[in-house]
Amino acid sequence: MSQNEFLEILEKNLQGFSIDEKREILYDYEEHFTLGKENGKTDDEIIEELGNPLDIATQYKTNKITLINGNQNNNYQSSNSNGSNNAQGAGSSNNDNYQYSYTPNKPSNWLLFLLLLPFIILPSIGIIIAFYATILGLFATSVGVVIAGFGLSLAGILGTTIFGFQIISLPNISMIPMPAFLFAGIGTMALGALFFIGTLYLMKFLNSGTSKYFSWISSLTKR
């Protein structure tokens, strides 16, 4: 079963829930999948941890019924203490109390999003782009170091002049033994390779942080 199949089954079996309630529940499970995949888990492994989506939907419906019954009992006792026993009024009060836990979040989160947009979100996106540009520059530098090392190694094998072209120009270059170029070239290529691998790790770290950051921004508009 894939992530989309899991979420689709869960959504179809949440009968009796409002659109906002479904969105709230599905968002929580999307977060489970996002965090699990960042830790290297497959869809099957994540689903095995979460359980059967049918059982999850059943549990949500059971909890909702329990909450509604508890609110109705509280309203019934309250109405008796005030000398009123109107079942329809109690049901209406229960609906108001139950939806109160969901509806205030949406405007407050949107308000937070709009407040952060010009001062935090947009500037931070520019900083993230600058980080990516820097890492691309580091990639280019590491490739240049490897190419330079290859040139030194080639000079150590074939000499500093190939086909009449001098590939390395240094003062008193003829006094430098060819094996020195070879070993210097091998060391330079190794340094460039380590530089490249380190840059890959930086890219992975930046991708992970960027993904979490945009997930947080997305949560402000969904919840």
Query: What are the tens digits of pLDDT across the range 57-77?
Result: 888 888 878 877 766 665 555
| 36 — pLDDT class (breaks 50, 70, 90) | confident
Whole-number percent of the chain with pLDDT over 90? 20
Query: What are the tens digits of pLDDT across the range 169-179?
Result: 554 455 567 67
Token pair in block for residue 150: 């290859």
Q: What is the pLDDT of residue 71?
A: 64
Q: Contacts from 67-71 at CB under 8 Å and sequence distance 24+?
A: 67/98, 68/94, 68/98, 71/97, 71/98
Is pLDDT of 199 > 60?
A: yes
| 189 — pLDDT class (breaks 50, 70, 90) | very high
What does pTM read for this prediction? 0.44
Is pLDDT of 191 > 90?
A: yes
Is pLDDT of 18 > 90?
A: no
Is pLDDT of 198 > 70?
A: yes
Q: What is the pLDDT of residue 178?
A: 66
* Gap between the Cα atoms of 26 and 6, Å rounded: 10
Is pLDDT of 100 > 80?
A: no
Q: What is the pLDDT of residue 102?
A: 37
| 78 — pLDDT class (breaks 50, 70, 90) | low
* Gap between the Cα atoms of 21 and 57, Å rounded: 12
Q: Contacts from 59-68 at CB under 8 Å and sequence distance 24+?
A: 60/14, 60/17, 60/25, 61/14, 61/15, 61/16, 64/16, 64/17, 67/98, 68/94, 68/98
| 166 — pLDDT class (breaks 50, 70, 90) | low
Is pLDDT of 82 > 80?
A: no
Is pLDDT of 85 > 80?
A: no
- Mean pLDDT of the chain, nearest integer: 76
| 197 — pLDDT class (breaks 50, 70, 90) | very high
Are 223 and 22 in contact by the 8 Å Cβ rule? The answer is: no
Are 155 and 167 in contact by the 8 Å Cβ rule? The answer is: yes
For the ranges 40-44, 66-70, 76-80, 133-137, the one whose mean pLDDT is highest: 133-137
